[in-house]
Amino acid sequence: MGDSFFGEKVAVVTGAGGTLCSAVAVELARRGARVALLGRTMEKLEPVAAAIASAGGTALPLGVDVTDAAAVEAACRRITERLGPCELLVNGAGGNRNDAVTTTTEFEPSEIGDARPEGMRGFFDLDPGRMLDVIELNTIGTIIPCQVFGRVMAGRGSGAIVNFASMNSYRPLSRNLAYSLSKAGVTNLTQWLAAYLAPAGIRVNAVAPGFFANERSRKILMTEGGGLTARGQNVMGHTPMKRFGDARDLLGAVCWLLDDREAAFVTGITVPVDGGFLASSGV
């Protein structure tokens, strides 16, 4: 265990209880970083912390809502006391809501008719409040950690931030209006912050995962028997590598963007990790 760059660095990973960012946290610890694990539920963070500890690493799990500035400030103070000042930040917290997506992929006249099918939710039925919840989580939930931990980095004159964008940042996927526009916002935020924080010695980049196999995506893209749903088949038809991503597929890109030796002149970019999805029209 250990890495000449990551060794003894203090890294903060939000959304660390999820499939992708738990793998990122474990990898940073494997490389020698002392990792603070932030997430809404300790039950998801504790197994990640245990895995890191069993491998000889250092992890501090903290139950935190990243949209709550006071809570993130409190977490920052505790991290500084227990591990030291934050030097690396991975903003992986985010998500969607089932009641903030449409049930249709395009307008149908019945959407605005008197005999609307039960359970149908089109664009005109979307609740702005539910959409705002998604937008707040993905945008404000990224901005607040950048403010809180970025302030610490700015005081030290160095640091690196990696945000989590999405394929939705480039192409708004059908049904996912709020999630798509919020993830497009993350790429814009990444560019804005990269320019703003350059004088502070802080690099800001992002990764844009394609379709990865996690708990949520399996329900949407795969059948109980392990086959593909219609949506899953559609995704695969647009993915030249003909498979879903695995969490380990993200690790190289995230660690490269964080590494001041390897990516010292890289800031303001978003790196797709998508099996070629963006390159393929599917036609």
**Cα–Cα dist 107/123, whole Å:** 8
**Cα–Cα dist 34/12, whole Å:** 9
Cβ atoms 67, 39 nearer than 8 A: no
Active-site positions? 179
Helix residue ranges, H only, 31-140: 42-54, 69-82, 128-135
Q: Which domains, from first to last, does the chain contain?
A: 10-279 (3.40.50.720)
Q: Work out whether strand 202-209 and strand 10-14 pair parallel, antiparallel, or are unpaired.
A: unpaired
> Would the CA dihedral through 59, 61, 62, 66 be positive or negative?
positive
Of 182, 12, 16, 158, residue with least CA distance to 97: 182
pLDDT by 10s per residue, the chain, length 283 = 556 899 999 999 999 999 999 999 999 999 999 999 999 999 999 999 999 999 999 999 999 999 999 999 999 999 999 999 999 999 999 999 999 999 999 999 999 998 889 999 999 999 999 999 999 999 999 999 999 999 999 999 999 999 999 999 999 989 999 999 999 999 999 999 999 999 999 999 999 999 997 766 667 777 777 787 877 788 888 889 899 999 999 999 999 999 999 999 999 999 999 999 999 987 7
* Cβ atoms within 10 Å of 111's Cβ, excluding its own: 18
Phi, psi of 208 (to 5 degrees): -120, 90
Length of the chain: 283
Element housing 46 (H / E): helix 42-54
pTM of the model: 0.94
